[in-house]
């Protein structure tokens, strides 16, 4: 899928936003990585999602072709905190699936290793 000019994460132009990280540059912080992972979900970039998932918690495979496929429609970053090589990002991602609107509210944990940030895991807020 060819990305649109605007970045799916809402951070500006794709080429100067998440496109850089998708092309292989290291995201400078956990929030940038989280935004790029959201954009990767929108664009169906499963290889990128697996590559940015910490090896200790990474699944063996990732199938983004569920049917019906979720249509991601918006991202809001609520908070980003970092201390050394550990960070947390709280976000709300909105999507449509099965004819209904949904929201995913997650507190995600990130770890920096060898100069790169990785998604470790997250706690979903069910409320």
CATH number at residue 57: 3.10.450.50
pLDDT tops 70 at residue 108: yes
Domain that holds residue 114: 14-124
pLDDT tops 70 at residue 87: yes
| Sheet with 71-83, edge to edge strand ranges | 71-83, 86-97, 100-113, 116-124
Q: Is residue 4 part of a domain?
A: no
Q: Is residue 60 part of a domain?
A: yes
pLDDT tops 80 at residue 111: yes
d(CA 90, CA 31): 9
pLDDT digits (tens, 9 = 90+) for 18-76: 999 999 999 999 999 999 999 999 999 999 999 999 999 999 998 887 767 789 999 99
What's the pTM value of the predicted model, to 2 decimals? 0.92
d(CA 62, CA 76): 24
Q: For residues 99-108, give the mean pLDDT.
A: 95
Q: Is residue 9 part of a domain?
A: no
Q: Is residue 6 part of a domain?
A: no
d(CA 3, CA 51): 19
């Amino acid at each position: 899928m060819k990305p649109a000019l605007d970045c799916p994460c809402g951070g500006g132009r794709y080429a100067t936003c998440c496109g850089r990280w998708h092309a292989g540059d290291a995201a400078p912080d956990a929030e940038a990585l989280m935004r790029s992972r959201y954009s990767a979900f929108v664009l169906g970039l499963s290889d990128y999602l697996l590559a940015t998932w910490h090896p200790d918690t990474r699944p063996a495979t990732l199938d983004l072709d569920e049917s019906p496929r979720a249509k991601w429609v918006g991202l809001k970053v609520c908070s980003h905190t970092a201390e050394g090589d550990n960070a947390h990002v709280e976000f709300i991602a909105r999507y449509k699936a099965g004819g209904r609107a949904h929201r995913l509210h997650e507190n995600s944990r990130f770890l920096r290793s060898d100069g790169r940030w990785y998604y470790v895991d997250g706690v979903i807020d069910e409320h």
